[in-house]
């Protein structure tokens, strides 16, 4: 139908036909590409990295580079004003505009605006479809529901509900009164008073009728304030005030809390009124401020506040914020325990089957009940004198030994010495009963003498019987049975084992328990008993073998038990191997560390890596190491002193005197040169160098003198002086200081005495003979190497030499005094003369010179050469080769002093 | 279960043979003789493969390494020599022992040489390094070492002092067992659970490795002064021991019975004879070589 085209009527202009090729594709803009733009078409929001919220140069704030800090500029002409920045300074103009974030235009807030809907959500158009006209009904838009007034909303917020009254509660009476009151009120305006009343009266009535259904106003609602918990304390606990105490302000002039007015006079009590009574405990709350208001000042029952709120809080004894529950919790019902049948046994016995008879009763649980008083007392440590005493004595023993030795070595001049010596003299005849204790005390030296033997030291053995028993046990065990005792590391254990062996088979179980210390547990006891049992059996076996072997040898050596003990390990193993008891008896398991490379080569992880190697710690040497207590008594009969002095405890074998007297003497008399090891020799040599050889042997002195003469004079003489110094030191330590005093006061008497002494000494009587008190036992420990006797004897010889010297010295000194004033060279020459003249090289004797007076007296005295009194005024002779100008000055000075001293000496001589 | 032992006899021309050892795989054997030489044999073919000369005195013991590339020998000249098998030259001479080296062994990986000597010490040498000093010395023995055996983690030494010592490398412990008699040889059983100990009094003891208890004792040997070795067979059911009377003794490991040879048959033409052990037949055949 071509006509159809004409029939059409076109309205408007037709769109250009779409070019299908260039059809622009409609791409929906993605969310991330959508940009909020402001009025100027600028981007409104920037990302956090591009300047944030509507900021930057391209908006109205800041510069191209961003926020520019405010510049402070102040000149004389234009003073900088104090500019306070406002938030608007940082906001764009648009923010302040109508749609900005802070619009400045005045408008009603949302609440007061007509909009009902508070939320941002648009109201849903509803029920539009049911009507004939689509869309929201026009009337709905026109007529808007009246909004609540502000007052109502406020009331509602305060807890008021529509239908409730408002205002305080009034009784009808009150209402009437109120009305009356209102009537009286003047009324302004054109109301007629009558009208007014009428109206009011009618109003009243009607109001009563009207509001009949209206309830009373609700109680004032006191909003419960939730305290947020901002601490970590327990609920209800308020910690101490964190503020320091002193920071609080104390009002010293506070009004007294308690005022009593009496006859126009006002008494006021302030502060803590009564303090704390004797029976009260203070410090309940030390930071509380005591106040009189806390005290009752009136008799009578306490007033109760009549408040609903207060009542509530007072009644409940709950923590703050808790409410006492009204309903009671149902308590758990506790049923009484069933009564046990009379023959009930608390130990379960397992039967093999239901019909099997009960197994034999186990005795274990009965043990507890069968304990008798004795065994219980054992555990309770009650009335066990024997055990306790023996233990305590053991302890005393161990402590007293060390303590005594220390005391003795330290308190050489003390009163204890005298007392000890007295004791000594008293107990001298009891020498036979010497114990190891005396041997320790023997290492002390008093007055150059060795302390004699001493029997038991008092107090160390409170219970001698037990000790005796102990020692007896040892002896009997070793002598009678001649048992080979396996050694236990613990000494107490060893003792216990000895005792165990002493008991007969039957006795063991009964008695041995009492020997074990109470500190041991039952289990330990049992273990020990089992151990001992085993060991005892083994001992017996070995003993048989040993005995059979011994029969052949027929050598009786009680001390051999020690050696056997050492051997016993191997012997035991051999024995076990012989009787084919392979296993534990023949096995030793020792730690062994393979070298790392071996482990690597064996492809085995190194055992005990990181574990510190058990270094073989060298035992600290102590005096007690060499002291074998039992053997100590063997030395008591040592004869000659000289011989004994050379015995070293370390080298000497402990042999019994009774059995091998020959051996012992040979052993004792054996000079050190023979038995000395290399170390000892080297030590000896060095020692000789230091202390001088001639110290050792008095009878060799003459020989030594020769040798010394032969030797280089200087070195030799130096040694001698050294010796002298040492001797002085020793004398200062070991000699009685009273000697010096004596010397001063009664010299003449002394001279005679000394004469005698000298004679005895020169005649060759040993000091040992003179000193009965002398301890014959060899020195040991640190004293082992020191020849103390030679120290004592040496001065004699020295003195005799010095006597000769002194005569010469006298002359020399006089010469010197003359020469010294002259020149150094000359003085040297004089000393050279000295050298030639003196045998003993006084050239090298430096230090204070010998005073003449003393020299004379020394000719006959045994006393040390240097005494106190002369120290001050001595002539100072310097060593020859060390002379210097300084020395010269000294000499001059000394000369002067010498002249004085000479005078004083002469005076003294006269006096004496 | 009948089995047959054939006996071949090899003349070694080596003087008195001090020890013979199989190589690791058992294909060869190494003899060490008093002629100061070590010889490598194929015992099956009775051929001498190589002679290693270099010791200054009688060779006491020689063993091969696990890869059979090296032989270690010890001698009365107090030295231990590590040989290259193919070249036949000594690779290393180790002389730190102060006495006759009586026995030598490689460890399982042939990285360590363990040598025991009459100087009462056992020395461990690193076969890999060129150090001429031992890596470790085990000086525990109180008398000369008679035998040394090395397992994968243990070194077992026997000494004339009557002790066998087991050095456990993994545990780091030394376990000493007293045998009460001179021990001439101590060796592990194949299962490594027991130790077989030959004592000079003619007894052979089977000792439990872990407890040291005596499991069984094999008697019958005469007391002798020889340092006689003993071992168990590969199945751990027969205890073998040499003896001073020229016989190999075999005990049933469990019943401890010596297998008596009752019947003997001599080969009519060859130098060969048969012996009937309890359940086995032993064929001894003399094979002359060289």
Q: What is the pLDDT of residues A350-380, one digit of tens each?
A: 777 777 776 665 445 445 666 777 777 877 7
Q: What is the mean pLDDT of residues A555-567?
A: 45
DSSP-assigned letter for residue A874:
-
Percentage of chain A exceeding pLDDT 90? 0
Instruction: Write out chain A residues lying below 8 Å of B180, CB-based.
Output: 573-574, 576-578, 586
**Structure confidence at residue A266 (pLDDT):** 64
Among the ranges given (A232-241, A243-252, B26-35, B196-205), the one the predictor scored with the smallest mean pLDDT: A243-252
Instruction: Write out chain B residues lying below 8 Å of A574, CB-based.
Output: 162, 178, 180
* Cross-chain residue pair B173–A605, CB shorter than 8 Å: no
Smallest CA–CA separation between A650 and chain B, in Å? 27
B221: confidence class by pLDDT, cuts 50, 70, 90: confident
Paired tokens of A210: 């009207």
More confident residue, A571 or B205: B205
Paired tokens of A260: 């009593």
**Structure confidence at residue B82 (pLDDT):** 92
The torsion angles phi and psi of A694, rounded to 5 degrees, stand at -70, -10
The pTM of the whole model exceeds 0.90: no
Identify whether the C-beta of residue A618 lies closer than 8 Å to the C-beta of residue A757.
Answer: no
Using the Cβ of A366 and the Cβ atoms of chain B, whether some distance falls under 8 Å is answered with no
DSSP-assigned letter for residue B80:
E
Round to whole Å and give the CA distance between A211 and A205.
Answer: 10
Q: What is the mean pLDDT of residues A476-498?
A: 58
**Structure confidence at residue A536 (pLDDT):** 77
Using the Cβ of A601 and the Cβ atoms of chain B, whether some distance falls under 8 Å is answered with yes
Round to whole Å and give the CA distance between A143 and B41.
Answer: 128
* Cross-chain residue pair B109–A602, CB shorter than 8 Å: yes
**Structure confidence at residue A89 (pLDDT):** 75
Instruction: Write out chain B residues lying below 8 Å of A582, CB-based.
Output: 177, 205, 207, 212-214
Q: What is the mean pLDDT of residues A379-406?
A: 51
Residue A724 has pLDDT above 60, yes or no: no
How remote is the C-alpha of A576 from its chain's centroid?
A: 51
Residue A692 has pLDDT above 50, yes or no: no
**Structure confidence at residue A161 (pLDDT):** 82
Beta bridge partners of B125: B113
**Structure confidence at residue A446 (pLDDT):** 39
* Cross-chain residue pair A607–B171, CB shorter than 8 Å: yes
Among the ranges given (A108-122, A277-291, A699-713, B41-55), the one the predictor scored with the smallest mean pLDDT: A699-713
Q: What is the mean pLDDT of residues A282-307?
A: 63
Residue A541 has pLDDT above 60, yes or no: yes
Nearest by CB to B136, which of A577, A594, A603?
A: A594
Instruction: Write out chain A residues lying below 8 Å of B135, CB-based.
Output: 595, 597-598, 601
Instruction: Write out chain B residues lying below 8 Å of A608, CB-based.
Output: 172
Q: What is the mean pLDDT of residues A750-771?
A: 49
- Tens digit of each residue's pLDDT (9 = 90 or more) over B129-188: 888 889 999 988 888 999 999 988 899 999 998 889 999 988 888 999 888 888 999 999
A635: confidence class by pLDDT, cuts 50, 70, 90: very low
List Cα–Cα distances, A22 to A25, A28, B247, in angstroms. Answer: 9, 18, 116
Q: What is the mean pLDDT of residues A663-680?
A: 44
List Cα–Cα distances, A174 to A167, A178, A344, A463, in angstroms. Answer: 13, 6, 83, 106
Q: What is the mean pLDDT of residues A187-216?
A: 53
Smallest CA–CA separation between A598 and chain B, in Å? 7
A789: confidence class by pLDDT, cuts 50, 70, 90: low
Exposure of A443 by Cβ count < 10 A (0-12 exposed, 13-18 middle, 19+ buried)?
Answer: buried
Smallest CA–CA separation between A597 and chain B, in Å? 7
DSSP of A77-146: SSPPP-PPP-GGGGS-HHHHSTTSSS--S----TTTSS----SSSPPPP-STTTSSS-SS-HHHHH--PP
A284: confidence class by pLDDT, cuts 50, 70, 90: low
Smallest CA–CA separation between A432 and chain B, in Å? 45
Angle between helices A522-553 and A560-578 (to 10 degrees): 100
Residue A65 has pLDDT above 50, yes or no: yes
Q: CA nearest B170 in A: which residue?
A: A607
Residue B216 has pLDDT above 80, yes or no: yes
**Structure confidence at residue B105 (pLDDT):** 92
- Tens digit of each residue's pLDDT (9 = 90 or more) over B44-79: 887 888 899 999 889 999 999 988 899 999 999 999
**Structure confidence at residue A60 (pLDDT):** 56
CA torsion angle for A697, A700, A704, A706 (degrees, to 10)?
170
Q: What is the mean pLDDT of residues A493-497?
A: 77
**Structure confidence at residue A130 (pLDDT):** 60
Instruction: Write out chain B residues lying below 8 Å of A602, CB-based.
Output: 107-109, 111-112, 152-153, 169
Nearest to B97 by CA among B60, B68, B53: B60
A192: confidence class by pLDDT, cuts 50, 70, 90: low
More confident residue, A649 or B38: B38
**Structure confidence at residue A95 (pLDDT):** 72
More confident residue, A346 or A206: A346
Using the Cβ of B175 and the Cβ atoms of chain A, whether some distance falls under 8 Å is answered with yes
Give the three-class secondary structure for A877. Answer: strand
- Tens digit of each residue's pLDDT (9 = 90 or more) over B87-109: 889 999 998 899 999 999 998 88
Nearest to A562 by CA among A474, A658, A466: A474
Choose the most confident range, by mean pLDDT, from A297-311, A410-424, A522-536.
Answer: A522-536
Q: Residues near A403 by Cβ (< 8 Å), separated by ≥ 6?
A: none
- Residues 527-586 of chain A with CB under 8 A from chain B are 570, 573-574, 576-578, 580, 582-584, 586
Paired tokens of A416: 């204890």
Give the three-class secondary structure for A456. Answer: coil
Residue B208 has pLDDT above 80, yes or no: yes
Using the Cβ of B9 and the Cβ atoms of chain A, whether some distance falls under 8 Å is answered with no
Identify whether the C-beta of residue B22 lies closer than 8 Å to the C-beta of residue B15.
Answer: no
Paired tokens of A85: 């920045």
**Structure confidence at residue B123 (pLDDT):** 92
Instruction: Write out chain B residues lying below 8 Å of A584, CB-based.
Output: 211-212
**Structure confidence at residue B101 (pLDDT):** 92
A79: confidence class by pLDDT, cuts 50, 70, 90: confident
* Cross-chain residue pair B178–A573, CB shorter than 8 Å: yes
Using the Cβ of B124 and the Cβ atoms of chain A, whether some distance falls under 8 Å is answered with yes
Percentage of chain A exceeding pLDDT 70? 28
- Residues 295-314 of chain A with CB under 8 A from chain B are none
Nearest by CB to A602, which of B112, B128, B180?
A: B112
A288: confidence class by pLDDT, cuts 50, 70, 90: low
* Cross-chain residue pair B175–A589, CB shorter than 8 Å: yes
Using the Cβ of B167 and the Cβ atoms of chain A, whether some distance falls under 8 Å is answered with yes
Paired tokens of B39: 């010889």
Using the Cβ of B172 and the Cβ atoms of chain A, whether some distance falls under 8 Å is answered with yes
**Structure confidence at residue B155 (pLDDT):** 92
């Amino acid at each position: 139908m071509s006509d159809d085209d004409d029939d059409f009527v076109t309205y408007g202009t037709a769109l250009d036909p779409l070019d299908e090729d260039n059809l622009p594709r409609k791409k929906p803009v993605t969310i991330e590409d959508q940009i909020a733009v402001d009025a100027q078409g600028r981007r409104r929001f920037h990302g956090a990295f591009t300047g944030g919220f509507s900021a930057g140069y391209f908006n109205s704030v800041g510069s191209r580079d961003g926020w520019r800090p405010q510049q402070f500029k102040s000149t004389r002409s234009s003073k900088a004003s104090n500019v306070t920045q406002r938030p608007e300074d940082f906001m764009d103009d648009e923010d302040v505009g109508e749609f900005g974030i802070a619009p400045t235009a005045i408008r009603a807030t949302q609440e007061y605006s007509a909009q009902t809907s508070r939320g941002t959500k648009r109201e849903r158009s509803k029920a539009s479809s049911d009507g004939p006209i689509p869309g929201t009904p026009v009337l709905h838009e026109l007529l808007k529901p009246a909004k609540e007034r502000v007052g109502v909303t406020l009331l509602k917020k305060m807890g008021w509900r529509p239908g409730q009254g408002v205002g305080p509660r009034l009784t009808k009476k009150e209402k009437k009164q109120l009305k009356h009151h209102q009537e009286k009120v003047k009324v302004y305006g054109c109301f007629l008073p009558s009208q007014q009343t009428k109206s009011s009266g009618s109003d009243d009535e009607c109001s009563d009728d009207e509001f009949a259904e209206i309830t009373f106003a609700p109680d004032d609602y006191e909003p419960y304030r939730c305290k947020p918990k901002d601490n970590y304390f327990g609920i209800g606990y308020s910690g101490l005030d964190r503020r320091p105490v002193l920071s609080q302000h104390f009002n010293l002039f506070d009004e007294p809390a308690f005022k009593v007015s009496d006859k126009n006079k006002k008494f006021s009590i302030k502060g803590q009124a009564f303090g704390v009574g004797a029976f009260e405990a203070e410090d309940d709350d030390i930071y509380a401020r005591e106040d009189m208001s806390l005290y009752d000042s009136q008799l009578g029952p306490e007033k109760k506040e009549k408040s609903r709120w207060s009542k509530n809080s007072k009644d409940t004894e709950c923590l703050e914020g808790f409410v006492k529950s009204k309903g009671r919790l149902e308590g758990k019902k506790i049923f009484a325990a069933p009564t046990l049948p009379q023959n009930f046994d608390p130990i379960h016995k397992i039967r093999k089957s239901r019909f099997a008879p009960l197994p034999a009763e186990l005795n274990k649980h009965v043990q507890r009940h069968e304990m008798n008083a004795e065994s219980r007392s054992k555990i309770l440590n009650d009335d066990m004198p024997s055990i306790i005493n023996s233990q305590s004595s053991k302890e005393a023993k161990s402590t007293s030994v060390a303590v005594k030795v220390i005391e003795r070595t330290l308190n050489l001049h003390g009163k204890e010495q005298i007392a000890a010596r007295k004791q000594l003299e008293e107990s001298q005849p009891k020498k036979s009963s010497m114990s190891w204790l005396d041997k320790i005390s023997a290492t002390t030296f008093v007055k150059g003498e060795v302390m004699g033997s001493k029997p038991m030291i008092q107090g160390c053995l409170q219970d001698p019987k037990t000790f005796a028993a102990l020692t007896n046990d040892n002896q009997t065990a070793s002598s009678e049975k001649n048992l080979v005792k396996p050694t236990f590391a613990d000494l107490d254990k060893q003792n216990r084992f000895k005792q165990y062996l002493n008991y007969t088979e039957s006795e063991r179980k009964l008695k041995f328990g009492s020997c074990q210390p109470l500190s041991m547990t039952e289990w330990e006891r049992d273990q020990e008993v089992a151990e001992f049992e085993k060991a005892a059996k083994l001992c017996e076996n070995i003993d048989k073998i040993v005995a059979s072997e011994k029969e052949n040898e027929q050598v009786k050596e009680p001390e051999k038990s020690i050696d056997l003990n050492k051997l016993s390990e191997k012997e035991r193993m051999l024995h076990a191997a012989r009787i084919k008891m392979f296993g534990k008896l023949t096995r030793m398991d020792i730690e062994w560390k393979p070298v790392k490379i071996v482990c690597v080569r064996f492809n085995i992880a190194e055992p005990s890596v990181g574990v510190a190697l058990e270094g073989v710690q060298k035992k600290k040497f102590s005096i007690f190491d060499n002291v074998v207590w039992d053997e100590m008594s063997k030395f008591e009969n040592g004869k000659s002193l000289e011989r004994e002095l050379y015995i070293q405890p370390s080298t000497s074998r402990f042999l019994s005197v009774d059995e091998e007297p020959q051996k012992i003497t040979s052993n004792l008399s054996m000079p050190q040169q023979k038995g000395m090891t290399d170390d000892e020799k080297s030590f000896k040599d060095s020692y000789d160098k230091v202390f001088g050889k001639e110290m050792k042997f008095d009878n060799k002195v003459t020989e030594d003198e020769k040798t010394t003469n032969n030797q280089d004079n200087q070195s030799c003489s130096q040694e001698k002086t050294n010796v002298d110094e040492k001797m002085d030191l020793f004398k200062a330590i070991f000699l009685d200081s009273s000697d010096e005093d004596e010397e001063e006061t009664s010299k003449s008497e002394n001279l005679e005495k000394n004469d005698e002494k000298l004679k005895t000494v020169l005649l060759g009587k040993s000091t040992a003979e003179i000193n009965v008190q002398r301890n014959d036992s060899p020195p040991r420990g640190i004293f082992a190497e020191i020849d103390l006797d030679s120290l004592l004897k040496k001065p004699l010889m020295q003195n005799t030499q010095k006597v000769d010297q002194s005569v010469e010295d006298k002359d020399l000194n006089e010469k010197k005094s003359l020469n010294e004033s002259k020149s150094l060279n000359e003085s040297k020459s004089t000393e050279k003369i000295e050298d030639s003249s003196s045998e003993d090289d006084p050239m090298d004797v430096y230090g204070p010179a010998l005073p003449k007076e003393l020299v004379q007296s020394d000719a006959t005295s045994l006393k040390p050469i240097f005494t106190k009194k002369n120290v001050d005024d001595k002539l100072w002779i310097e060593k020859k080769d060390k002379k210097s100008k300084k020395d010269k000055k000294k000499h001059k000075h000394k000369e002067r002093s010498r002249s004085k001293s000479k005078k004083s000496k002469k005076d003294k001589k006269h006096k004496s | 279960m009948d089995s047959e032992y054939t006996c071949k006899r090899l003349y070694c021309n080596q003087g008195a043979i001090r020890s013979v050892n199989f190589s690791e795989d058992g294909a060869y054997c190494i003899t060490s003789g008093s002629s100061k030489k070590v010889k490598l044999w194929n015992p099956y073919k009775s051929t001498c493969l190589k002679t290693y000369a270099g010791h200054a005195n009688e060779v006491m013991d020689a063993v091969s390494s696990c890869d059979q590339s090296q032989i270690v020998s010890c001698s009365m000249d107090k030295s231990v020599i590590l040989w290259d098998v193919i070249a036949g030259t000594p690779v290393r001479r180790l002389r730190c022992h102060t006495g006759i080296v009586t026995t030598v062994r490689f460890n399982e990986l042939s990285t360590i040489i363990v040598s025991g000597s009459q100087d009462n010490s056992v020395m461990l040498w690193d076969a890999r390094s060129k150090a001429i000093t031992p890596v470790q010395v085990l000086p525990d023995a109180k008398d000369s070492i008679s035998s040394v055996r090395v397992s994968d983690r243990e070194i077992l030494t026997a000494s004339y002092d009557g002790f066998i010592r087991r050095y456990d490398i993994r545990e780091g412990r030394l376990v000493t067992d007293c045998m009460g008699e001179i021990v001439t040889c101590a060796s592990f059983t194949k299962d490594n659970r027991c130790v077989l100990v030959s004592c000079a009094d003619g007894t052979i003891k089977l000792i439990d490795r872990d407890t040291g208890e005596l499991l069984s004792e094999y008697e019958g040997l005469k007391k002798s002064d020889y340092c006689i070795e003993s071992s168990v067979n590969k199945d751990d059911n027969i205890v073998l021991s040499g003896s001073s009377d020229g016989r190999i003794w075999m005990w049933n490991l469990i019943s401890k019975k010596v297998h008596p040879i009752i019947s003997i048959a001599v080969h009519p033409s060859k130098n060969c004879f048969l012996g009937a052990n309890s359940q086995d037949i032993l064929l001894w055949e003399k094979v002359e070589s060289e």
